[in-house]
Structure 1
Amino acid sequence: MTTTATSGQAPPAETQGLPQPRTFDEVPGWFYRTDLVLFDWFLTRQRDLRHRGDLLEMGAYLGKSAVLMGAYLDAPEERFTVCDLFDSDAAPDEANGREMRHSYSTLTRRAFEANYLSFHDELPRILQAPTTAVPGEVADGSCRFVHVDASHLYEHVHGDIAAARDTLGPEGIVVLDDYRSDHTPGVACATWQAVLESGLRPVCVSSHKFYGTWGDPRPWQDALHSELRARGKCWLQWQQVAGQRLLLVGARKADPPTLPVSRHASPASAAVRKPPPRAAAARRLAVDLLPPVMTRALRRARR
């Protein structure tokens, strides 16, 4: 059964008393530096190009990627939908139920909402249901960015990719998590099957996520390669896979993007957001050139 909650509601009383993350890093989950850089780049470029549309996440865990995505809603009419089983029973799919019990036994909707509302004033639209509910709840062609991180089982991922294709507009971007992990062969199979048979065209890959489109990937690839090369600290390599051009990206040493600030952050950390890469580089240069006594004082203040 699908349970929904529309965005715009007040923080629910049920989130009181739950852990309240003071920083983005304190939100439980896995989000590596390269993917932080890539999420920021794609979502910021969509904003710069005035690509309008909704955001969709299938599989939320405790909200780490949702917290980040929610910061890129760019117009009042844009909507962010999150679909996850949360506490719901995965039956009648026993295989999916086993995966939920094994990997996400501590997952609750209350914890997701508490984490999300630590960084944003309003909840996204929540579908508490299997991802099979997405086609009936999210309009075709309405989205510009879809993150798929739900089941790791082939048959479910195959359906999630099909749902992403239908919900995305012509220039939309889909991100597939765990496309190459040793414990997720079903995701790998469904991902490359979509490339070979369903018109999904790769833009780039990180160690953990596949970024693709059913539109033209070349403008995205050229702009991404040019900008990351100019930033430096990124490993980039072109490859051809099944006749498709593909950019491999490693950015674990790159400067991170500006991250959402928690309402529970200390006053000092909340007042000072992380500077953009150029400002960070200038600050490092200044520290290098200052006398040692001032350098030590600056580092103590930053700590």
Structure 2
Amino acid sequence: MMTQETGPPSSLDEVRGWFPKIDQLLFTWFLERQERLGERGDLVELGSYLGKSAILMGRHLREGETFTVCDLFDSDAPDDSNQAEMRGSYSSLTRRAFESNYRAFHDRLPEIVQGPTSLILDHVQPETCRFVHVDASHLYEHVHADIQAAHVLLPAGGLIVCDDYRSEHTPGVSAAVWESVATDGLRPICVTTQKLYGTWGDADAVQDDLLDWLAARDDAWHEVQQVAGRRLVRVKGRGATRPPNEVGRLKERLARADKRLARAEDRLARARGELEAVRGSVSFRLGRAATALPRALRGRRP
């Protein structure tokens, strides 16, 4: 059983787990955007390991909302393949370690469902959530079911985050995630090296806000790609191995500025057209004629 030999963690960096800085920034941005827009709903995490991402999510829980965490922890897996995965990757995972880490940052624990993630729909009602983090099994069948459960839990504008969507050792996750994109209407918003962020609602509005936010940051690099005719924002932290493409980033910002300028020029042209229409009207000409003599007399005064 894992213990905290050096005492409880005092910062998120001290909690074991795979949660890169860029994803910490994005989790925070997406959750704060929901709060800023007044979007309410519960939070769900499917697979929590030792609580690193759960701790961050818990910071954004508001009064009247519920945060539910579902994980096997010390329980047996539902099938042999899942049990083998647990032994190989998560042998140190215990509920006590998760709770100890979480309590180091929060007064109250989330609602904990200890068991397979297939139980989540027995504990959380449909369309009651605004943010679901899928980070449990790497096996296709389980990930597919988790994404389907997230679809049930989220209203159209809710957000899903899928972990390990592209790693070479997790092809089952990749298959389940992109199948949902291709056949189930999941719309990717952005991707990092580790996670895919998406929605079954309007991705364009979220992407517009995200691009504005990213353009003002010095600690993140991004580019916009096209996937099946839709935008997909790729985001990397500044400390990434691949150097940021500053030229491409500047070109993108310039192109967006050009679009704003074009819209402003279009509004100005319409305003000028409306002004010319007024000047050409009969009422305007009559008004000018009526005031012409007084204006002329004023101009002749010594």
Of 140, 157, 162, 2:143 maps to 157
* Higher radius of gyration, 1 or 2: 2
Task: Determine which of 110, 118, 122 is the counterpart of 1:136.
Answer: 122
Is the counterpart of residue 112 in structure 1 residue 111 in structure 2?
A: no
SS of 2:157's equivalent? strand
Which one of the candidate residues 39, 46, 57 is aligned to 2:27?
39
In 2: Cα distance, 1:87 partner to 1:174 partner: 26
User: Aligned residue for 1:83?
Assistant: 70
Deviation digits for residues 128-150 of structure 1 (CA, Å, limit 9, x no counterpart)? 01000011211000000000000
Q: How does 1:49-128 map to 2 (within 5 A)?
A: 49-74=37-62, 76-91=63-78, 93-128=79-114
Unaligned regions of 5+ residues in structure 1, if any?
1-14, 255-303
* CA–CA distance in structure 2, aligned partners of residues 235 and 125 of structure 1: 36
- How far apart, CA to CA, are the structure 2 residues paired with 1:190 and 1:136? 22
SS in 1 for 2:206: helix
Higher relative contact order (CA 8 A, sep 6+): 1
Q: Is the 8 A contact 1:18 1:114 kept in 2?
A: no
Name the % identity. Answer: 58
1:191 to 171, 177, 182: 177
Letter in 1 for 2:212: S
* Residue type of the alignment partner of 1:140: P
Inter-partner Cα distance in structure 2 for 1:179 and 1:162 = 15
Counterpart AA for 1:64 = K
Structure 2 unaligned segments of length 5 or more: list them: 241-302
Give the Cα–Cα distance (whole angstroms) in 2 for the partners of residues 170 and 241 of structure 1: 21
**TM-score relative to the length of structure 1:** 0.76
* Per-residue Cα deviation, 1:212-254 (whole angstroms, up to 9, x for no partner): 0000000100100111101233211111112221110112449
Would you say the 8 A contact 1:37–1:251 is kept in 2? Answer: no
Matches of 1:18 and 1:100, distance apart in 2:
26
The one-letter code of the counterpart of 2:155 is: G
The amino acid of 1:86's aligned partner reads F
Between the aligned partners of 1:184 and 1:26, the Cα distance in structure 2 is 26
Q: Which amino acid aligns with 2:129?
A: C
SS class of match (1:175): strand
Aligned equivalent of 2:154, options 164, 168, 173: 168
Answer yes or no: is 1:178 the counterpart of 2:198: no
Q: How many residues align?
A: 238
Query: Comparing both structures, which one devotes a greater share of its residues to helix?
Result: 2
